[in-house]
């Protein structure tokens, strides 16, 4: 890969999470260009009032893209939720899953909402075929994102890199569309996404926190690791009787 330093990166980093304190801290980080959330992250963070939380975050972060997801399983109700969510802020992208829980495609709904001028983030995709099904529904509409869960693809033992590279090429003719490398598992994924020309990668606070390690001398990092093991053993009071 040609990218060696953080300053060389062209891929945009979006922070993924729903903890308000963490989001506000990352908002102060110039490396973070936007934010994504989902109902699972909100539940994990203890959010109980979806709309109130979203509006509170948008009041604090009014100038970077933020995605909030519909959560109905009925397409008609999804459409209603999307039309409400989009009113919460000019920087809001409405997340629509690629299907409902019955496996029925949401592409007709995506087409309807895009035609209405709603900025969308179509989410939970895992195949190039799914990307190809969504592109025509979003083409010619407002700014939109397509989130491919590369990390979950990798969890199945498959290398997502080729699929992500294909998706980038298929989306190239449509300047209003951006591909999101979703659910990365390690900092290396940021550089992989950048190398193939992916537009955006989501990242947890843990991954973003590793950015200062980029380019670190490996001999120095090795010594730091040895020191860490030694320090932890001493602080734990470990002892082995040797005679």
Please indicate, yes or no, if residue 34 is contained in any of the structural domains. yes
Please indicate, yes or no, if residue 131 is contained in any of the structural domains. yes
Please indicate, yes or no, if residue 178 is contained in any of the structural domains. yes
> What is 174-206 written as a DSSP string?
-TTEEEEE-S--STHHHHHHHHTT-SEEEE-HH
Please indicate, yes or no, if residue 221 is contained in any of the structural domains. no
Please indicate, yes or no, if residue 59 is contained in any of the structural domains. yes
What range defines the domain where residue 109 resides? 6-215
* pLDDT recorded at residue 243: 82
Of 95, 119, 172, 210, which residue is the catalytic one?
95
> What is 31-79 written as a DSSP string?
TEEEEE--HHHHHHTT---HHHHHHHHHHH--SS-EEEE---SSHHHHH
- The CATH number assigned to the domain holding 211 equals 3.20.20.70
Please indicate, yes or no, if residue 88 is contained in any of the structural domains. yes
Please indicate, yes or no, if residue 16 is contained in any of the structural domains. yes
C-alpha–C-alpha distance, residues 35 and 82, integer Å: 18
Please indicate, yes or no, if residue 235 is contained in any of the structural domains. no
Domains identified in the chain, total number:
1
Mean pLDDT by 10 residues, the chain (243 residues): 74 97 96 96 96 97 98 98 98 98 98 98 98 97 98 98 98 98 97 97 96 94 98 97 90
* pLDDT recorded at residue 2: 47
* pLDDT recorded at residue 4: 65
* pLDDT recorded at residue 47: 96
Question: Is 4 labeled as catalytic in the residue annotation?
Answer: no
* pLDDT recorded at residue 3: 47
C-alpha–C-alpha distance, residues 122 and 93, integer Å: 9
Among 38, 54, 43, CA closest to 87: 54
């Amino acid at each position: 890969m040609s990218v060696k330093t953080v300053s060389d990166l062209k891929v945009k980093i979006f922070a993924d999470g729903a903890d308000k304190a963490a989001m506000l801290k990352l908002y102060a980080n110039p490396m973070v260009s936007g934010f994504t959330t989902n109902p699972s992250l909100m539940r994990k963070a203890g959010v109980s009032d979806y709309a109130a939380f979203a509006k509170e975050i948008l009041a604090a972060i009014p100038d970077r893209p933020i995605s909030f997801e519909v959560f109905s399983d009925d397409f008609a109700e999804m459409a209603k939720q999307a039309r409400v969510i989009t009113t919460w802020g000019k920087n809001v992208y409405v997340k629509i899953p690629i299907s409902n829980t019955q496996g029925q495609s949401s592409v007709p709904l995506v087409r309807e909402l895009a035609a209405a001028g709603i900025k969308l983030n179509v989410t939970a995709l895992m195949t190039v075929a799914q990307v190809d099904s969504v592109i025509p529904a979003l083409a010619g509409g407002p700014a939109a994102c397509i989130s491919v869960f590369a990390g979950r693809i990798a969890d199945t033992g498959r290398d997502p890199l080729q699929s992500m590279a294909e998706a980038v090429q298929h989306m190239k003719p449509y300047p209003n569309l951006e591909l999101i490398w979703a659910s990365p598992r390690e900092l290396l994924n940021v550089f992989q996404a950048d190398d193939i020309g992916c537009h955006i990668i989501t990242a947890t606070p843990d991954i973003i926190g590793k950015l200062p390690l980029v380019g670190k001398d490996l001999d120095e990092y090795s010594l730091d690791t040895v020191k860490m093991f030694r320090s932890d053993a001493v602080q734990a009071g470990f002892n082995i009787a040797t005679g």
